[in-house]
Amino acid sequence: MFLNAKDLCMIEYIPDLIEANIDAFKIEGRMKDPLYVKTVASCYKEAISSYYDATFSKKKVKDWLKRLLKVYNRGFHTGFYFQNPTPSDIQLNKRGNISPHKKHYIGRILTYNEKIKTAELLIEAKSLPIIEGNEFIIEGDDTYLLEKFNNLLLHGTQIHSIQRDKEDFPIKINVKLENPVLSGDKIYKFQ
């Protein structure tokens, strides 16, 4: 039974496309989250720039593909560019996202102090560690940020990591943030 086509991915063929006088590339991002759009647009921008500065390489393609596989995808193929799609270009086994990387809810922003760029967080997730320097997604009605949590404080004492056990009540911590956030914004860990 046909479930869905794999996603078109031509990043390794950017030099061929540019040399074929293609001068515009459309990134499909409708119904995708901002992390998907940011990752895909960044990878393709880097690939196009590296073609023009003569640094395009298989090693870079491998890195771009690794990054693209982390966000929502249904597997990759080259569509009709080189041949008619075959049954292996159709995802028959699983519907939707096949990426093993997912967004996991951690908690929410309670307050933000713009003067000292510090937020108070309520950690609600159980068994998901927060480690200083890890990257998190902060998302709200008017917010979408990728942030690294630095200067973690628990009751005024600096810590380097924290994890809420199953029996623990939600934990309040303070973190240093580079960008302003809003009370109620949700926090996700991407792994």
Which residue, chain included where needed, has tokens 């519907």? 95
| Calpha distance 15→161 (Å, rounded) | 44
> Could you count the other beta carbons within 10 Å of the beta carbon of residue 43?
23
> Could you count the other beta carbons within 10 Å of the beta carbon of residue 121?
27
Secondary structure (3-state) at 175: strand
- Per-residue pLDDT, 162: 87
Helices assigned H by DSSP within 12-57: 14-19, 34-52
* Domains defined along the chain, listed by start: 4-91 (no CATH), 103-190 (2.40.30.10)
Secondary structure (3-state) at 160: coil
User: Residue ranges of the chain with pLDDT lower than 70?
Assistant: 1-4, 88-95
pLDDT tens digits for 32-68?
A: 888 888 899 999 999 999 999 999 999 999 999 999 9
- Per-residue pLDDT, 25: 87
160, 132 Cβ separation under 8 angstroms? yes
- Per-residue pLDDT, 1: 43
Compute φ and ψ for 49, nearest 5 degrees. -60, -40
| Calpha distance 191→9 (Å, rounded) | 22
56, 48 Cβ separation under 8 angstroms? no
Residue type, 88: S
Secondary structure (3-state) at 78: coil
- Per-residue pLDDT, 89: 66
